[in-house]
Every structure is written in structure tokens, then in C-alpha cells.
């Protein structure tokens, strides 16, 4: 069969080793590409004539080749070319003050009043601790045999295997068209070989081969881990020409795991590069080189240290180097690490020491000292520790338009709500705290190191839930880029709130829809945008009310006045705003403070965040029946199923 190649108007037909004809069409190939056909050497009595003809053709083709190359390197649009519609613009933020002190005023009388009572915080903290380190029958910790047996393996691994098959099918482009096709970073659709190679590496059958709890499968994250739906670092984007698709929305990205997080390994890829793990939040694939396998001694030591004193990182991204000077990881805000006794002379009263075995490591091999005794704080010691806490000094801001919360029920002046004078904060240098740091040896076994962080980097948990402490966290995080599923180790809307509330001892589910289950939920979806905002301004509890609008969650921080009207103000990590026809995005791309308005003054075509089909609020710590009935409110629905957290 002849192979026909169009080269800038010259058609070369090469078949069976003989040359046919050359015709010039006077036009340029529509593909804009250049191909080269090589003819075999002609033979027989027509060879001289054919060679002469081919020399002429070769000269013409060479000139056309050079012309085409010039056209490719410097393309010029045709006269009827039309610029494509840009689905991305930047939303102007200049009219919206992003100074946290403007909204949460340091001079306000309520700046150090808790917005969660000590009893509420204690209940939340007990639940958070159980999710990470608990041992009770109902404690959903990856290290808990009862949880793994009764919840994770409740269907003997069949549901885990079925989830893997669903994910394989979801990212297989076979038979798909249009918006359902997944693309790689090179803007090309993933082919069948791509998904088949991943599927073989998953070895889905393993999940039903030994679906029983095995202590040796307990592990710990020794660095930041990206949680993936499939064992690959390749992204899968929908068509970038569609509004709200393409970067940063990698559909394979689930979440991230912070260093020091307990894990249970449910499976391993064929090549050994990936583990499929249960975390306190989700299930997914993580790189195995950031996972340290633990034994009973390691788990017992880490649990004991966490029970004595658990710390939470409050810096956006805190570098951690161990006592030997080895860099271990960057700890994002909300990272949980056990605290040990302060250096001599800085120990708060009421602390009693607990001796820790030296060189605790999963394999039990000898090593250097752990770094010092652990300490068990008494109630009085926690209060003293709080008084030693030194947040960054606050500059005097302009008057705040946001009303501060009143003291929560049962709140007292004791504990971590003690105010710190600016003079004290500026003169007292941050005292170092010793923390336990997870590491991994060459064989993949977990070991414990120590590191020092100061009070501007890590605090004892739970930190009192006051406007002062919330402002400290907001200042660390505001303005950072948006990271879908924690891509780039940045936060998305739900992980931003997770990072903040973890410091207060409050565990929030990983996804925005399931975060509504953390408090008393009121569904305002049947109300008008104006009714929603009025209800929120009148009945919302500032600093502890979450707002869910379908795929996005925000934190209500108080009210302000615009044009004589009281409007709610929210803190959120958001990608952007959309018009009603979903044709484009006005990108914000980070964490911001914005008023919730019925209409967007900068662009009337953009949809208000108060005008979405779904609008629900959840008040953390609110007792049942505390909220006033909402106009047109629907019954509280059950928490939606979360495929990324099938064990709950």
C-alpha cells in the first residue's frame, strides 16, 4: 500500500520502491507539520532520468522544508483567527482589608475570652486523641486493633478491593469522551498503557488475601506524604479549557499526611514504592520511603509521650532539625508531635518526669539517647505553661469592625486564655521546647529523635480557643496559595480549617461536606441569600461556625457594616468565584478574609457565595437546640458518605 505524505503542497507517493509523480498544489499542509519521505535508489534504464527528477524534487522539498520550519518557529495568525475565551481572570482584592488585626482587634475586651468552653475543648480533644492514639473499642486510631478489625476490615477487605477497582475505572479513558477524559501534565490524554501499568502495580487481589489486623503493619509518617487515589505521582486533570478544570485540580490528589501521624499499612505496590494506608482521616496510596514501620515498643513509647503532653505546630511551615543537626522535615501548621520536658530551669511547676528508654526504634537496635525525660503536666502546670506561651507581638491596629465573641459558657480565667502583655512578649525570648521527631532508618524501621522548637513554632495542646490565638494562626496562614488536596503542601478550604482547629484540640473531617458533622448543623439551602445572611449574622457563633456551600467550606468570624447593612465576614481558603453559567473563574487562589454579600460589587455576573444551591452552617460545641429555627430550614441530613474515608 502506498504511503502518502503531504509536505507543504508537494505530494510524494512512494510505493514498492519506485517513485511516482510529484505535484504542486500551491498550498501549505493544513496540519502545519513537516514529514520526510525517503525514496529507495531507482534502478533500470530510467534511472538517470529518475535521478535527475529526484534531484529537482529534492531541491524543491528542501526549500519548502526551510520555509515550513520558519513558519513553525514564528507562526502568524490567519486573518480570521479569533482569540479563545479566557476562562481565568484574577479577582481584585484591593478593596478588602487582609489585616487580621483589623478584624480581630487586639485591644478588644473579648480578645482573650474563649469561644469554646474548657468543657467543650476537652471533649473535642479527647475525640482527637482517640482518633490518633486511642486504644478503646470505639477509638478510630490506625494503631488500634479493634478499629482495624471491626471498621477497616469489616468486609474482609472486599470493600477496599472494590474501591481500588472503582478508582482504576474512574481514571481509565477507554470509551470516554469530552469532559470525562483525564489528561497528564503534557495536556495529552492518558492512554490505556498508563492505567494498565498502574493497575498491575496495585495488585488489587492483595487486599482480600490477609484481611486481619497485624501489629507489624502499624507505621508512622516520617515526613510529609501526599495521599493519592492511585500509586503514581502523575497528575490527572480534566480538560484545562473547561472552567474550573486543569491546574491545580489533580483528580488523583486526595490529601496529605503530616509527619508524626500514625498509619496502618493495608497493602504495598508490586514495585514496593507505595503503601496503601489508613490514616486518622482517609485511605490512600503514599510513598513508602516516607513511612517508618513500627513495633510494640515504638508505639508504646510514642503513645505514652503523647498522653503526657502533645504539641501542635502553629507556624505555616516550620523546619525541623533533630538534635544531631539533621534536617527531618517541614512541619505544616497542625502537625502533632509529643512534647518533652523543657531544659532545666524552665520546667513549669507541677511537672513530673517520666524516664524513657534510650534509642527507641522499631527494630530495637541500640543507638543514642532519646534526648531527655518526658514530663506529665498537672492541671496547674498547664496554666503555667500557657502563661509562658509568647505569641508574636501585636501592633496596634485600626478599630475593628467585627464584634468579638462573648465568653463561652463555663469559661474561666484559668488555663491557656491568660492574656500576655505586649511588653512581656517583646522582652522574653521564646523558650525552646523539646519535641519527639519520627525518623526512618535504611531498612524502613521507625526510630525516635528529638528536636527543639520555640513557642512561636509549637504550643501545648489544646491551646485555649481565644480570638488572640486564632489570630496568631490566621496571620501565619493568610495569603498562602491554594492547594487542592494539599498539593504543594498548601491547604485547600477544608484542610485550612483542619490545620487551625487541630491546635485547639478539635478534629475536623478531611472533606468540606463531612466537616458539617463536627457541630450542630442547620440547613439553610431552602432560604434566600438574604435570609441566609441575616440568619448567620444573628444566630451564628463567631469563630466557631462553619459554612458549607457545596464543595467549599468557610469560617464565620463576625459581622461588619457595609452601606448601613450588617453583613457576615468569613475566613476561607478558596480557589475563586464563578458566574451562574459556570463559564469562567475569577481566581482568588489562597486564604482570605471577605464579607459575604448578596451580590459581588466588582462583577455582578459572579455568583455570591451566599447564593449557591447548598448553604449549611455547623456550630462547633453548640448543644442541641441552642440555635434558633431557620426560615425554610430542612431537617438535618445524615453526614454524607466519604469514599476517601470508608472506615469512618
Per-domain residue ranges of the chain: 3-73, 89-102+482-619, 115-293
- The yes-or-no verdict on residue 449 having pLDDT over 60 is yes
pTM value is 0.76
Arithmetic mean of pLDDT, 275-290: 98
pLDDT band at 634 (very low <50, low <70, confident <90, very high): very low
**Is the domain 89-102+482-619 a CATH 3.90.1720.10 member?**
yes
Using the CB atoms, write b or e for 316-345: b if 16+ within 10 Å: bbbebebbeeeebbbbbbbbbbbbbbbeee
**Gap between the Cα atoms of 99 and 101, Å rounded:** 5
Burial of 73 (0-12, 13-18, 19+ CB in 10 A): exposed
- The yes-or-no verdict on residue 456 having pLDDT over 70 is yes
- Give the model confidence (pLDDT) of 46-79 as tens digits: 444 434 443 454 444 344 444 443 444 444 444 4
Position 423 scores a pLDDT of: 36
**Gap between the Cα atoms of 220 and 128, Å rounded:** 17
Position 365 scores a pLDDT of: 34
Whole-number Cα distances in Å, 286 to 227, 250, 269: 5, 15, 10
Position 644 scores a pLDDT of: 75
- Give the model confidence (pLDDT) of 521-548 as tens digits: 999 999 999 999 999 999 999 999 999 9
Position 353 scores a pLDDT of: 32
**Gap between the Cα atoms of 281 and 645, Å rounded:** 6
Pairing of strands 545-548, 553-562: antiparallel
- The yes-or-no verdict on residue 616 having pLDDT over 90 is yes
pLDDT band at 645 (very low <50, low <70, confident <90, very high): confident
Position 92 scores a pLDDT of: 96
The closest of 278, 280, 255 to 265, measured between CA atoms, is 278
Query: Three cell numbers at 5?
Result: 505524505
Arithmetic mean of pLDDT, 474-489: 97
Q: Which residue has the higher pLDDT, 376 or 535?
A: 535
- Give the model confidence (pLDDT) of 547-605 as tens digits: 999 999 999 999 999 989 999 999 999 999 999 999 999 999 999 999 999 999 999 99
Pairing of strands 88-90, 585-595: parallel
Arithmetic mean of pLDDT, 206-222: 97
Q: Which residue has the higher pLDDT, 373 or 595?
A: 595
Query: Three cell numbers at 443?
Result: 531498612
Arithmetic mean of pLDDT, 378-398: 31
- Give the model confidence (pLDDT) of 495-509 as tens digits: 999 999 999 999 999
The closest of 187, 253, 247, 237 to 487, measured between CA atoms, is 253
Position 46 scores a pLDDT of: 42
Q: Which residue has the higher pLDDT, 382 or 622?
A: 622
Whole-number Cα distances in Å, 551 to 154, 173, 250, 361, 613: 29, 25, 15, 42, 11
pLDDT band at 182 (very low <50, low <70, confident <90, very high): very high
Indicate the DSSP class of residue 212. S
**Gap between the Cα atoms of 273 and 285, Å rounded:** 10
- The yes-or-no verdict on residue 142 having pLDDT over 70 is yes
**Gap between the Cα atoms of 603 and 319, Å rounded:** 41
Which stretches within 508-647 are classed as H helix? 529-539
CATH class of 115-293: mainly beta
Position 428 scores a pLDDT of: 62
CATH topology match: 89-102+482-619 vs 115-293: no
- Check: CB of residue 589 under 8 Å from CB of residue 575: yes
Cis preceding-peptide flag for 378 (omega within 30 of 0):
no
Indicate the DSSP class of residue 484. G
Instruction: Give, for 165, the enclosing helix (H) or strand (E).
Output: helix 158-170
pLDDT band at 641 (very low <50, low <70, confident <90, very high): low
Q: Spell out the long-range contacts of 159-166 with Cβ–Cβ below 8 A and sequence spacing 24 or more.
A: 159/646, 160/207, 160/208, 160/211, 160/266, 160/267, 160/276, 160/283, 160/646, 161/204, 161/205, 161/207, 161/208, 163/283, 163/643, 163/646, 164/202, 164/204, 164/207, 165/204, 166/643
Arithmetic mean of pLDDT, 508-520: 93
Concatenated DSSP letters for 511-543?
STTGGGGGSEEEE-TTS-HHHHHHHHHHH--TT
The mean-pLDDT minimum among 75-84, 302-311, 353-362, 601-610 falls in 353-362
Q: How far apart are the first and last CA of the chain?
A: 61
- The yes-or-no verdict on residue 638 having pLDDT over 70 is no
Q: Spell out the long-range contacts of 7-15 with Cβ–Cβ below 8 A and sequence spacing 24 or more.
A: 7/34, 7/35, 7/36, 7/37, 7/61, 7/64, 7/65, 7/68, 8/34, 8/64, 8/65, 8/67, 8/68, 9/64, 10/57, 10/60, 10/61, 10/64, 12/37, 12/39, 12/57, 12/61, 14/39
Amino acid at each position: 500500500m502506498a504511503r502518502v505524505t503531504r509536505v507543504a503542497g508537494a505530494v510524494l507517493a512512494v510505493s514498492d520502491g519506485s517513485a511516482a509523480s510529484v505535484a504542486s498544489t500551491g498550498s501549505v499542509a493544513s496540519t502545519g507539520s513537516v514529514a520526510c519521505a525517503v525514496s529507495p535508489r531507482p534502478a533500470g534504464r530510467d534511472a538517470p532520468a529518475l535521478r535527475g527528477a529526484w534531484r529537482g524534487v529534492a531541491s524543491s522539498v528542501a526549500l519548502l522544508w526551510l520555509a515550513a520550519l520558519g513558519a513553525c518557529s514564528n507562526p502568524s495568525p490567519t486573518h480570521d483567527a479569533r482569540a479563545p475565551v479566557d476562562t481565568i481572570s484574577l479577582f481584585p482584592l484591593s478593596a478588602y482589608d487582609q489585616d487580621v488585626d483589623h478584624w480581630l482587634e487586639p485591644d478588644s475586651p473579648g480578645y482573650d475570652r474563649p469561644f469554646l468552653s474548657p468543657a467543650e475543648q476537652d471533649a473535642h480533644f479527647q475525640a482527637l486523641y482517640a482518633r490518633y492514639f486511642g486504644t478503646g473499642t470505639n477509638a478510630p486510631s490506625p494503631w488500634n486493633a479493634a478499629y482495624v478489625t471491626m471498621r477497616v476490615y469489616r468486609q474482609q477487605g472486599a470493600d477496599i478491593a472494590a474501591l481500588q477497582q472503582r478508582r482504576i475505572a474512574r481514571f481509565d479513558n477507554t470509551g470516554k469522551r469530552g469532559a470525562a477524559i483525564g489528561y497528564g501534565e503534557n495536556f495529552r490524554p492518558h492512554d490505556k498503557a498508563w492505567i494498565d501499568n498502574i493497575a498491575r502495580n496495585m495488585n488489587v487481589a492483595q487486599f482480600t488475601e490477609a484481611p486481619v489486623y497485624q501489629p507489624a503493619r502499624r507505621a508512622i509518617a516520617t515526613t510529609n506524604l501526599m495521599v493519592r487515589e492511585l500509586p503514581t505521582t502523575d497528575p490527572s486533570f480534566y480538560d484545562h479549557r473547561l472552567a474550573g478544570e486543569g491546574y491545580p485540580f489533580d483528580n488523583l490528589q486526595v490529601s496529605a499526611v503530616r509527619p508524626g501521624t500514625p498509619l496502618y499499612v493495608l497493602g504495598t505496590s508490586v514495585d514496593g514504592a507505595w503503601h496503601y494506608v489508613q490514616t486518622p482521616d482517609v485511605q490512600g496510596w503514599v510513598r513508602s520511603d516516607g513511612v517508618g514501620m513500627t513495633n510494640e515498643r515504638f508505639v508504646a513509647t510514642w503513645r505514652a509521650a503523647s498522653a503526657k503532653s502533645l504539641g501542635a505546630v502553629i507556624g505555616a511551615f516550620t523546619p525541623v532539625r533533630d538534635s544531631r543537626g539533621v534536617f527531618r522535615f517541614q512541619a505544616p501548621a497542625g502537625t502533632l508531635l509529643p512534647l518533652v520536658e523543657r531544659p532545666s530551669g524552665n520546667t513549669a511547676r507541677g511537672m513530673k518526669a517520666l524516664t524513657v528508654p534510650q534509642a527507641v526504634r522499631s527494630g530495637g537496635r541500640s543507638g543514642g539517647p532519646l534526648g531527655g525525660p518526658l514530663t506529665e503536666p498537672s492541671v496547674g502546670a498547664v496554666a503555667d505553661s500557657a502563661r509562658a506561651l509568647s505569641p508574636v507581638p501585636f501592633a496596634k491596629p485600626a478599630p475593628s469592625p467585627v464584634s468579638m465573641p462573648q465568653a463561652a459558657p463555663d469559661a474561666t480565667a484559668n488555663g491557656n486564655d491568660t492574656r500576655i502583655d505586649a511588653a512581656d512578649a517583646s522582652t522574653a525570648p521564646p523558650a525552646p521546647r523539646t519535641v519527639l521527631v519520627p525518623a526512618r532508618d535504611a531498612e524502613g524501621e521507625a526510630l525516635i529523635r528529638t528536636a527543639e522548637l520555640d513557642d512561636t513554632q509549637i504550643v501545648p495542646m489544646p491551646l485555649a480557643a481565644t480570638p488572640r490565638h486564632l489570630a496568631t494562626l490566621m496571620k501565619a496562614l493568610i495569603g498562602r496559595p491554594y492547594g487542592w488536596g494539599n498539593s504543594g503542601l498548601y491547604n485547600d478550604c477544608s484542610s485550612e480549617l483542619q490545620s487551625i482547629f487541630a491546635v485547639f484540640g478539635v478534629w475536623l473531617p478531611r472533606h468540606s461536606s463531612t466537616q458539617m458533622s463536627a457541630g450542630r448543623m442547620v440547613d439553610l439551602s431552602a432560604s434566600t441569600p438574604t435570609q441566609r445572611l441575616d440568619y448567620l449574622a444573628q444566630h451564628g457563633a463567631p469563630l466557631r461556625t462553619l459554612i458549607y456551600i457545596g464543595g467549599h467550606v468557610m469560617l464565620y468570624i463576625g459581622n461588619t457594616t457595609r452601606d448601613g447593612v450588617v453583613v457576615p465576614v468569613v475566613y476561607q481558603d478558596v480557589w475563586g468565584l464563578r458566574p451562574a453559567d459556570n463559564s469562567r473563574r475569577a481566581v482568588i487562589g489562597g486564604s482570605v478574609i471577605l464579607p459575604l454579600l448578596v451580590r459581588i460589587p466588582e462583577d455582578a455576573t459572579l455568583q455570591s457565595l451566599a447564593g449557591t444551591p447548598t448553604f449549611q452552617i455547623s456550630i462547633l460545641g453548640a448543644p442541641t437546640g441552642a440555635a434558633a429555627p431557620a426560615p425554610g430550614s430542612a431537617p438535618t441530613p445524615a453526614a454524607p458518605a466519604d469514599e476517601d474515608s470508608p472506615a469512618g
